């Protein structure tokens, strides 16, 4: 049955779909290995991403489930309790959030708040002894990224950034081609990530105090990430330019940014990000061939092809589902953490360098990421 977003909520509240969700929630405590229960996840912030992507994905995850919520809106709390069978003792607000430390049913806190609040709640979650997933961008500054990493290390908890694409099979196919070199070495990479923002001019993403930036910190981190995994290494320098065609709408944040990167293996990269244009593509040019993902950064289904005429296709699965299961499995088994905090810090270093380059008229800014022990993919 295909259900539109418009009818999704109505069916959740009272129909067959709602019964189905409650049934899944009631089974959430079961775990299929060694009789160990699934890890309980609490979502902090119940906006659109939590509502439409994370919560539905948590109904089908194998290693974790939706155990609790944190919201500043009591009516949302009641709605989510009914929809997902969440017990009252697992519902918190922003003031009593620290009480979550006493709740053994919650193992992971997923911070899904405006960017300026990421550091505060990630650090508080770590101090409460909970593992942390911090939605991208990790924070609004490198200093805040360091504070989150230090807090998690001190508390002995695991940390991940909400980079869903790191778990996506299309992303990993590009990584494979870069690593195994069937087309030779990478010479050029280009990534575009953006969308047209024509809605509420008062939304928090257009408020720099809340967002920390505009298109670059929102969509640009996808392009930064794909340029890096598209070359298999961190950039050694970046230069950038910014322009705006709708200054009356983008009064406080960047609308469109282009950037150029140099990589230690000799490859060059181009980046485009915007809140004023739909852009969703990755192109990697090798010495004797190429690979393209288009669409590349969206929730899927994605699509790809190579210079050999071969299409790249994988069965569609929720990226959020795979992402959260990967992190829960990392906690339970010690498997790879595909999006560690150091990755979020690396990207914020690049973001700050891009803004610095723009401020200095497009000057090339050197990057020393290879000497900092920061992951390259």
pLDDT tens for 97-123 read 999 999 999 999 999 999 999 999 999
Residue 156 has pLDDT above 80, yes or no: yes
* 69: three-class secondary structure by DSSP: strand
Averaged confidence pLDDT in the chain: 92
**Where does the pLDDT of residue 191 fall: very low under 50, low under 70, confident under 90, or very high at 90 and above?**
very high
**Where does the pLDDT of residue 7 fall: very low under 50, low under 70, confident under 90, or very high at 90 and above?**
very low
For residue 37, the model assigns a pLDDT of 81
For residue 11, the model assigns a pLDDT of 39
Q: Which 8-state DSSP code applies to residue 179?
A: H
Q: Is the peptide bond before 295 cis (omega within 30 degrees of 0)?
A: yes
Q: What is the mean pLDDT of residues 1-14?
A: 37
CB 145 within 8 A of CB 172: no
CB-CB neighbours of 156 under 10 Å: 9
Do the strands 131-134 and 108-111 form a parallel or antiparallel pair, or are they unpaired? parallel
Long-range contacts of 11-17 (CB under 8 A, 24+ apart): 12/83, 13/79, 13/82, 13/83
The two structure tokens encoding residue 170: 């299309």
Cα dihedral 324→329→335→337 (10° resolution): 20
For residue 21, the model assigns a pLDDT of 53
Q: Which 8-state DSSP code applies to residue 295?
A: S
Helices 142-155 and 341-359: crossing angle in degrees, nearest 10, is 170
For residue 36, the model assigns a pLDDT of 64
**Where does the pLDDT of residue 9 fall: very low under 50, low under 70, confident under 90, or very high at 90 and above?**
very low
The two structure tokens encoding residue 238: 């970046």
Q: Please state the separation of Cα 304 from the chain's center in Å.
A: 21
For residue 91, the model assigns a pLDDT of 98
The two structure tokens encoding residue 229: 């995994």
**Where does the pLDDT of residue 17 fall: very low under 50, low under 70, confident under 90, or very high at 90 and above?**
very low
Domains by residue range for the chain, with CATH: 5-164 (3.40.50.720), 165-314+341-371 (3.30.360.10)
Phi-psi sector, 144: left (phi>0), alpha (psi -120 to 50), beta: alpha
Nearest to 264 by CA among 357, 372, 369: 369
Phi-psi sector, 362: left (phi>0), alpha (psi -120 to 50), beta: left
- Residue 296 CA to residue 290 CA, distance in Å, equals 15
The helix (H) or strand (E) run that includes residue 192 is: strand 186-196
Distance (Å) of CA 372 to CA 345, 369, 375 = 11, 5, 9
pTM above 0.75, yes or no: yes
Query: Count of alpha carbons within 13 Å of 207, Cβ hemisphere only?
Result: 10
Q: What is the mean pLDDT of residues 199-226?
A: 97
Partners of 64 in the β-ladder: 39
- Percent pLDDT > 70 in the chain is 90
- Residue 28 CA to residue 13 CA, distance in Å, equals 20
CB 57 within 8 A of CB 320: yes
Rg of the chain, C-alpha, whole Å: 21
The two structure tokens encoding residue 186: 């990478």
Among the residues of the chain, which ranges form H helices? Answer: 5-14, 16-26, 48-49, 55-57, 74-84, 118-127, 142-155, 169-180, 208-211, 215, 221-229, 319-333, 341-359
Q: What is the mean pLDDT of residues 109-138?
A: 98
CB-CB neighbours of 47 under 10 Å: 14
**Where does the pLDDT of residue 318 fall: very low under 50, low under 70, confident under 90, or very high at 90 and above?**
very high
CB 92 within 8 A of CB 100: yes
Residue 32 has pLDDT above 50, yes or no: no
Q: What is the mean pLDDT of residues 335-349?
A: 98
């Amino acid at each position: 049955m295909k259900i539109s977003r418009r009818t999704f909520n109505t069916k959740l509240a009272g129909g067959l779909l709602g019964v189905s969700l409650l049934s899944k929630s009631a089974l959430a405590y079961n775990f299929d290995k060694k009789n160990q229960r699934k890890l309980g996840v609490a979502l902090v912030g119940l906006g659109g991403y939590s509502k439409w992507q994370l919560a539905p994905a948590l109904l089908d995850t194998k290693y974790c489930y939706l155990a609790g919520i944190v919201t500043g809106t009591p009516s949302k709390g009641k709605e989510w309790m009914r929809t997902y069978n969440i017990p009252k003792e697992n519902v918190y607000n922003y003031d009593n959030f620290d009480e979550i430390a006493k709740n053994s049913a919650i193992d992971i806190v997923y911070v899904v708040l405006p960017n300026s609040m990421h550091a505060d709640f990630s650090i508080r979650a770590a101090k409460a002894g909970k593992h942390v997933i911090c939605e991208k961008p990790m924070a609004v500054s490198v200093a805040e990224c360091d504070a989150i990493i230090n807090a998690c290390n001190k508390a002995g908890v695991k940390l991940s950034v909400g980079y869903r694409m790191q778990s996506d099979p299309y992303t990993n196919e590009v990584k494979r081609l870069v690593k195994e070199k069937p087309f030779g070495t990478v010479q050029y990479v280009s990534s575009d990530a953006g969308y047209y923002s024509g809605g509420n001019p008062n939304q928090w993403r257009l408020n720099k105090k809340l967002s920390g930036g505009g298109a670059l910190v929102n969509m640009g981190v996808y392009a930064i990430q794909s340029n890096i995994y598209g070359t298999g290494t961190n950039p050694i320098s970046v230069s950038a330019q910014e322009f705006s065609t709708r200054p009356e709408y983008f009064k406080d944040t960047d609308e469109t940014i282009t950037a150029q990167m140099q990589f230690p293996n000799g490859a060059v990269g181009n980046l485009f990000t915007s809140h004023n244009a739909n852009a969703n593509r990755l192109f990697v040019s090798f010495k004797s061939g190429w690979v393209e993902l288009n669409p590349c950064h969206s929730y899927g289904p994605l699509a790809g092809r190579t210079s050999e005429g071969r299409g790249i296709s994988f069965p569609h699965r929720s990226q959020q589902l795979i992402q959260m299961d990967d992190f829960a499995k990392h906690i339970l088994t010690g498997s790879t953490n595909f999006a560690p905090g150091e990755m979020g810090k690396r990207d914020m270093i690049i973001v700050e360098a891009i803004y610095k380059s723009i401020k200095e008229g497009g000057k090339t800014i050197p990057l020393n990421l290879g000497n900092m022990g920061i992951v390259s993919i």
